[in-house]
């Protein structure tokens, strides 16, 4: 069975979420998706439409993506080792 690589998962989630927030803030500076950026700005300090806010959002997204990737990876390994019942 192939095993999940936690570092790869964390990096993939971090890059994906960071780029998503970056692109969303850049498109919101043109008026597309500005309500979603305003909503996410309640959770990410400094995140706003525009270039500076996009960079701040990318940093937040990268950090939280890596964090949740590591958490999900360890939960996956825990369940893989300790769950004896086969579901499929």
Q: Is the whole-model pTM more than 0.85?
A: no
- Tell me the per-residue pLDDT of 5-47, one tens digit each, with 9 for 90 and over: 899 999 999 999 999 999 999 999 998 988 999 999 999 999 9
Phi, psi of 42 (to 5 degrees): -70, -25
- Tell me the per-residue pLDDT of 36-85, one tens digit each, with 9 for 90 and over: 999 999 999 999 999 999 999 999 999 999 999 999 999 988 888 887 76
Where do the domains of the chain lie? 6-82
Residue 82 burial by Cβ neighbours in a 10 Å radius (0-12, 13-18, 19+):
exposed
């Amino acid at each position: 069975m192939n095993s999940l690589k936690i570092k790869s998962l964390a990096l993939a989630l971090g890059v994906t979420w960071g780029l998503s927030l970056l692109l969303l803030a850049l498109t919101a500076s043109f008026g597309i998706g500005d309500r979603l950026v305003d909503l996410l700005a309640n959770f990410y300090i400094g995140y706003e439409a525009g270039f500076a806010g996009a960079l701040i959002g990318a940093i937040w997204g990268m950090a939280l993506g890596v964090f949740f990737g590591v958490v999900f990876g360890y939960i996956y390994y825990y369940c893989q080792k300790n769950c004896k019942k086969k579901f499929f």
